[in-house]
Amino acid sequence: MPDKQQSLKNSSSYDILPLFEFSNVVNSSLDLKFILDTVLLTVMGKMLVSKGMVLLTREKHLFEIVNAKGVEAGVLGQAITLKQTLRKPTITDRLSVTNKPWVTFFKAHGQKLIVPILTQGRVVGLLTLGERLGGKKYAEAERQLIHSLVNLSGSAVEKALIIDQLKEVNRDLDRKLQELNTLFDLGKEFNVVLEPDKVIRLLTFSLLGQVGVNRYAICLGKGRNMQVVASRLEKDVCTPDLFETLQELTRAESVDELTRKKKFATVAATLKEGGIRVAVPMLVQREVKGMILLGGRMRGGLYERADLEFLSSLANLAIISIENARLFREALEKQRMEDELAIAREIQQGLLPRSLPVIQGFDVAATNIPSKQVGGDYYDVIAISPTEYVLAIGDVSGKGTGAALLMANVQASLRAFAPMGLSMSEATSRINDLTSQNTGQGKFITFFWSTLDLKSGSMRYVNAGHNPPYHFHADGTMEKLDVGGIILGLMSTLSPYEEASVPLRRGDVLVMYTDGVSEAMNSAGEDFTEERLEGILRNSLSLPAAGIIGNVRTALELYTRDTPQSDDITMLVVKVL
């Protein structure tokens, strides 16, 4: 009891702010800086100390210096790891420095006393004091008094920390709200732009204005085929190898983070050399369709995770808009092609005879099955006179309106020259010359035409590069009608077309067809073939012309089952009665 009374007597000899008044001052404020300044300056003033620091708990065993007086300013913000839990004021000179770097740190900065800041038994921080004036030591009673003063501020410090955390959360929420509003506004702008170049320009302005960068590269594509579409880099770092490696990114990453990942280490070094600080993948359904590379921020500072999340959202908005623009352009192109094909189909169907003329002594049938893509198949039966008829079949290379118009040109030429009394060789040469003069490169026509003479019972023909028609004789033999010359439209006639004549007898069958028949494919990608066609025809010769065509169509349907038709199927069959 005498020692305790002496201790209280010693404490009362100091002109220290009464405990309750001090408590009222620090607990009446929620300003953390004010509280810490008040605590530190009050204790330093009453203890006649010129150096002191306040550290706050940030994580388990980790303390950050948030306030300092009388020591170099560089200590502020430093983190100290202190695994030993202090519950009462501790003199640093009594602590061993062995395996305790924090003790060395405090001694190096002249701190003689460490006082824990407690609230509800938890250490929320530390207050340290330097040497007192005159080298006077901290007596037990003084240490207890300091401890009491500091602990009176513990709850105030904790409340202020909570308030600061709430303020930080509110600031984060405000920033998130601002970012969401920005993304919403940018999203509206991106969605109304249907041109990739304008989307890239808008993205560039966003990077300059919203993010604040002056060095960037925007790349589009896939894998090694990614191309730079906008750049303000001083050094070109965009190589195929770099893009291929960055394909594995699933979110925005700082180059420093990439450096710590083994598979990105080489790429990260290249990016750092080029002044790049951040790589942002542009994702569509988890697939990298582009990449944004950013240099440092104009206002300085590191990219925080919140910044990277904003950049990821911005990048994804942009790439979705670019993809939408591409899909819109493709849809327009598809619609344009469909419109063109509709016109071509109308032209093509207009070229085909609505009905076949009745030829005495002959059974004539024809079919045309157009594919989804309009080709240039054509057949015709033209009456030149009551005893003379022209039979024709052709196939234009390519699809669409151009092919249909080219075949219309051939039909017009045929109908003009056929009645003129020219030899078939001369007429074919004229048709070829007219076609080659009006046909672009890569366009040509395979063409077969014949003149059926009822008086002589024979047929003259010219084959201009077309699939040779079959001439089945009544005696079971067969020949292919292949005499002629080059396909139409490829070049001007260099040598006359040859023509040939064949007699027609009762029971003979002529079968003309386009390559859409022989080259029809099954699900394995195998052609129907001329050999298979010939076999079916031989087994059908006893049937009428329409029945022969029907058998071929049935065989084709079975062969190509579940496979889309890739070309027009056209046949013209003539049977001698």
Concatenated DSSP letters for 140-193?
HHHHHHHHHHHHHTHHHHHHHHHHHHHHHHHHHHHHHHHHHHHHHHHHHHHHH-
In this predicted structure, what is the pLDDT of residue 502? 96
Pick from 102, 104, 110, 116: nearest CA to 135: 110
More confident position, 169 or 342 = 342
The answer to whether residue 75 scores a pLDDT higher than 70 is yes
CA distance to 54, 82, 126, 158, 175, per residue, from 164 (Å): 17, 24, 18, 10, 16
CA dihedral 144, 147, 153, 154 (to 10 degrees): -130
CA distance to 66, 364, 462, 479, 543, per residue, from 439 (Å): 84, 32, 21, 33, 41
Q: For residue 447, how many other CB atoms are within 10 A of its CB?
A: 27
Same domain, 492 and 564: yes
Pick from 87, 80, 141: nearest CA to 111: 80
Distance, first Cα to last Cα, the chain: 144
The answer to whether residue 4 scores a pLDDT higher than 50 is no
Please spell the DSSP secondary structure of 255-279, one letter per residue.
HHHHHTSGGGHHHHHHHHHTT--EE
Same domain, 303 and 423: no
In this predicted structure, what is the pLDDT of residue 174? 57
Report yes or no on 331 lying in a domain: no
In this predicted structure, what is the pLDDT of residue 1? 39
More confident position, 136 or 471 = 471
In this predicted structure, what is the pLDDT of residue 10? 46
In this predicted structure, what is the pLDDT of residue 15? 44
Please give the average per-residue pLDDT across 349-366, as a whole number. Answer: 88
Same domain, 303 and 384: no
Same domain, 310 and 356: no
In this predicted structure, what is the pLDDT of residue 192? 60
In this predicted structure, what is the pLDDT of residue 440? 66
Same domain, 140 and 213: no
Instruction: Name the most confidently modeled range: 19-23, 180-184, 522-526.
Output: 522-526
Q: How many domains does the chain have?
A: 3
The answer to whether residue 16 scores a pLDDT higher than 60 is no
Please give the average per-residue pLDDT across 236-258, as a whole number. Answer: 85
Q: Give the tens place of pLDDT for each residue, 26-59.
A: 676 778 788 888 888 888 888 899 999 999 988 8
Report yes or no on 512 lying in a domain: yes
What's the CATH code of the domain at 550?
Answer: 3.60.40.10
In this predicted structure, what is the pLDDT of residue 11? 45
Report yes or no on 170 lying in a domain: no
Domain limit, last residue, from 109, 144, 162: 162
More confident position, 323 or 458 = 458
Please give the average per-residue pLDDT across 91-105, as a whole number. Answer: 85
Same domain, 380 and 478: yes
In this predicted structure, what is the pLDDT of residue 339? 77
Name the band, by pLDDT with cuts 50, 70 and 90, for residue 170: low
Same domain, 315 and 366: no
Q: Give the tens place of pLDDT for each residue, 381-392.
A: 999 999 999 999
Please answer whether residues 53 and 67 qualify as being in contact, where contact means their C-beta atoms are separated by less than 8 angstroms: yes
Please give the average per-residue pLDDT across 358-380, as a whole number. Answer: 85
Residue 248's Cα: distance from chain center in Å? Answer: 13
In this predicted structure, what is the pLDDT of residue 468? 96
Q: Considering the entire predicted model, what is its pTM?
A: 0.52
Q: Give the tens place of pLDDT for each residue, 416-443.
A: 888 888 899 999 999 999 888 877 666 8
Same domain, 364 and 442: yes
- Portion of the chain with pLDDT greater than 90, in percent: 29
The answer to whether residue 321 scores a pLDDT higher than 90 is no
Q: For the chain, what is the mean pLDDT?
A: 83
In this predicted structure, what is the pLDDT of residue 171? 62
Query: Quick one: 202 exposed, middle or buried, by C-beta within 10 A (0-12, 13-18, 19+)?
Result: middle
In this predicted structure, what is the pLDDT of residue 20? 58
Query: Quick one: 331 exposed, middle or buried, by C-beta within 10 A (0-12, 13-18, 19+)?
Result: exposed
Name the band, by pLDDT with cuts 50, 70 and 90, for residue 358: very high
Q: If DSSP codes are grouped into helix, strand and coil, which group holds residue 108?
A: helix
Report yes or no on 175 lying in a domain: no
The answer to whether residue 470 scores a pLDDT higher than 90 is yes
More confident position, 550 or 350 = 550
Same domain, 288 and 374: no
Domain limit, last residue, from 326, 343, 366: 326
Please give the average per-residue pLDDT across 74-89, as a whole number. Answer: 86
Distance between CA atoms of 249 and 226, rounded to whole angstroms? 14
Q: Give the tens place of pLDDT for each residue, 186-208.
A: 565 666 666 777 777 877 777 77
In this predicted structure, what is the pLDDT of residue 24? 67
The answer to whether residue 14 scores a pLDDT higher than 60 is no
Report yes or no on 332 lying in a domain: no
Please give the average per-residue pLDDT across 235-242, as a whole number. Answer: 82
Name the band, by pLDDT with cuts 50, 70 and 90, for residue 12: very low
The answer to whether residue 533 scores a pLDDT higher than 90 is yes
In this predicted structure, what is the pLDDT of residue 534? 94
Domain limit, last residue, from 309, 326, 343: 326
CA distance to 67, 155, 537, per residue, from 60 (Å): 20, 19, 91
The answer to whether residue 530 scores a pLDDT higher than 90 is yes
Same domain, 570 and 424: yes
The residue segments making up the domain with residue 15 are: 2-162
Please answer whether residues 484 and 438 qualify as being in contact, where contact means their C-beta atoms are separated by less than 8 angstroms: no
Same domain, 224 and 322: yes
The answer to whether residue 18 scores a pLDDT higher than 70 is no
Name the band, by pLDDT with cuts 50, 70 and 90, for residue 374: low
Report yes or no on 337 lying in a domain: no
Report yes or no on 187 lying in a domain: no
Beta bridge partners of 10: none
Which 8-state DSSP code applies to residue 457? T
Same domain, 263 and 390: no
In this predicted structure, what is the pLDDT of residue 497? 94
* b/e per residue 38-58 (b: at least 16 CB within 10 A): bbbebbbebbebebbbbbbbe
Report yes or no on 409 lying in a domain: yes
In this predicted structure, what is the pLDDT of residue 458? 94
What's the CATH code of the domain at 47?
Answer: 3.30.450.40
